């Protein structure tokens, strides 16, 4: 196996996500080949990715020289077998339909070297379930990129009990090496990002269905209030900074209105009952250093002010209410 910085990449499924991932790998200097259901689609995707890269370079979103670099490193294959045969790392990025994933993962498995790494970009299917479609599952894992792949930093890395630890570490170095921030997450449906994202979306649609809020109201409130904070801190850090006692109080009112599903979580109640109110008492869930409270608050204020300024400069997305 080549060192991760020299890994040859194959992307199977050159659509929205696979295309973006291919641009990232090629831009970072990896040889990257895309394959699709047939060679005509792969060829069209190749042309689209180059033309998109031209736009991104003109817009200053990709550095100068990116198009040349991507054109040099990126190619398209005639078949999945051809792309897989010479790759060290193969990403499966086909539609979220298990029957398609089964066929594609089996095809990749039989064509790839026995030690080539195979990664699925599934959004929500447990990786252990897909693992059954792969030969030598020690080299199989989930590597879940976010949309749009070139510009969102986070990538979830999901091992199964069969995945080799060496492979996981190799992949973390590979994905970190192309500029992404990896997080190892459990092999649960939706992983971390989509389990949370879809819980939030469901509650938002429920508010819409009951007539409590319009989509525009929800979107405006979320993106300007707690969603704004989420760009810098996760829910645990935010709760610790706000005060866990405040959260328990809020859950009481919410549970009264919406029932048991909004009851305060047991571990939250236990913490507050023991006098742990988060950062202000030097505790909480996120492991923040209580002695750094003032520095954390100063960082938070600086970060929020900068983000507010950025939002003003960018203005609302086209067609969105101001
Ligand atoms: N779109 C997102 O926001 C997003 C974000 C994260 C993860 N994902 C996941 O990434 C995967 C791909 O999603 P996408 O949005 O890029 O889909 P997409 O429809 O844009 O791309 C899928 C590609 O797979 C190709 N394909 C279909 N059948 C194939 C086959 N049998 N063999 C080879 N290629 C085949 C299609 O031609 C297409 O190019 C899914 O598992 C999805 O859940 C999507």
pLDDT of residue 2: 78
CB 243 within 8 A of CB 278: yes
Between the alpha carbon of residue 15 and those of residues 35, 41, 42, 43, 104, the distances in Å are 10, 9, 9, 12, 15
Contact 145, 123 (CB under 8 A): no
Domains, the chain, in order of start with CATH, read 4-184 (3.40.50.720), 193-314 (1.10.1040.10)
193 lines ligand 1 (CB under 6 A): no
Answer yes or no: is pLDDT of 320 > 90: no
Alpha carbon distance 19, 48 (integer Å):
9
Predicted model pTM: 0.95
Average pLDDT value over all residues in the chain: 97
Residue whose CB lies within 8 A of the most ligand 1 atoms, among 10, 12, 14, 16, for a mutation test: 16
Q: Quickly state the pLDDT bin for 29 (edges 50, 70, 90).
A: very high
Q: Return the pLDDT at 156.
A: 98
What's the pLDDT at 321? 76
pLDDT score at 89: 98
**CB 107 near ligand 1, within 6 Å:** no
As a whole number of Å, the end-to-end CA separation of the chain is 52
- 121 Cβ below 6 A of ligand 1: yes
Please determine, for residue 230, whether its predicted confidence score (pLDDT) is greater than 90. Answer: yes
CA distance 87 to 83: 7
Other Cβ atoms less than 10 A from the Cβ of 287: the count is 9
Give yes or no for residue 119 CB within 6 A of ligand 1.
no
* Closest among 62, 77, 58, 63 to 12, alpha carbons compared: 77
Strands 117-120 and 89-92: parallel
Which residues have a Cβ under 8 Å from the Cβ of 110 and sit 6 or more positions away? 81, 135
pLDDT digits (tens, 9 = 90+) for 288-300: 999 999 999 999 9
**pLDDT greater than 80 at residue 322:** no
pLDDT band with cut points at 50, 70 and 90 for residue 1: confident
Pocket test for ligand 1, best of 10, 11, 17 (most atoms within 8 A of CB): 17
Mean pLDDT of 169-196: 97
Share of the chain above pLDDT 90, in %: 97
Average pLDDT over residues 201-219: 97
Q: Ligand 1: does its nearest atom lie under 6 Å from the Cβ of 38?
A: no
If you average pLDDT over residues 262-282, what whole number do you get? 97
- Which pLDDT does position 57 carry in this prediction? 98
């Amino acid at each position: 196996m080549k060192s991760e910085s020299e890994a040859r990449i194959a992307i199977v499924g050159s659509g929205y996500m696979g295309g973006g991932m291919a641009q990232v790998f090629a831009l970072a200097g990896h040889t990257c080949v895309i394959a699709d259901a047939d060679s005509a689609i792969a060829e069209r995707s190749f042309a689209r990715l180059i033309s998109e890269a031209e736009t991104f370079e003109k817009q200053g979103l990709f550095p100068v020289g990116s198009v040349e670099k991507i054109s040099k490193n990126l190619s398209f294959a005639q078949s999945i077998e051809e792309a897989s045969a010479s790759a060290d790392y193969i990403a499966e990025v086909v539609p979220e339909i298990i029957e398609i994933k089964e066929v594609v993962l089996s095809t990749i498995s039989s064509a790839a070297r026995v030690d080539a790494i195979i990664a699925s970009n599934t959004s929500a299917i447990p990786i252990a379930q897909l693992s059954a479609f792969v030969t030598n599952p020690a080299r199989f894992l989930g590597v879940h990129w976010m949309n749009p792949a070139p510009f969102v930093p986070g990538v979830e890395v999901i091992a199964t009990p069969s995945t080799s630890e060496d492979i996981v570490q190799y992949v973390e170095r590979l994905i970190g090496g192309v500029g992404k921030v990896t997080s190892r997450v459990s092999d649960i449906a939706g992983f971390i990002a989509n389990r949370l994202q879809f819980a939030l979306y469901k509650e938002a649609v429920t508010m819409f269905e009951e007539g409590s809020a319009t989509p525009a109201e929800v979107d405006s409130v979320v993106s300007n209030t707690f969603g704004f904070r989420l760009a810098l801190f996760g829910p645990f850090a935010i709760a610790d900074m706000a005060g866990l006692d405040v959260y328990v109080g809020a859950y009481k009112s919410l549970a009264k209105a919406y029932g048991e599903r909004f009851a305060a979580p047991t571990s939250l109640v236990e913490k507050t009952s023991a006098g742990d109110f988060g950062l202000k008492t030097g505790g909480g869930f996120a492991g923040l250093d209580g002695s750094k409270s003032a520095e954390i608050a100063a960082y938070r204020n600086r970060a929020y002010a900068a983000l507010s300024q950025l939002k003003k400069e960018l203005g609302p997305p086209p067609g969105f209410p101001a």
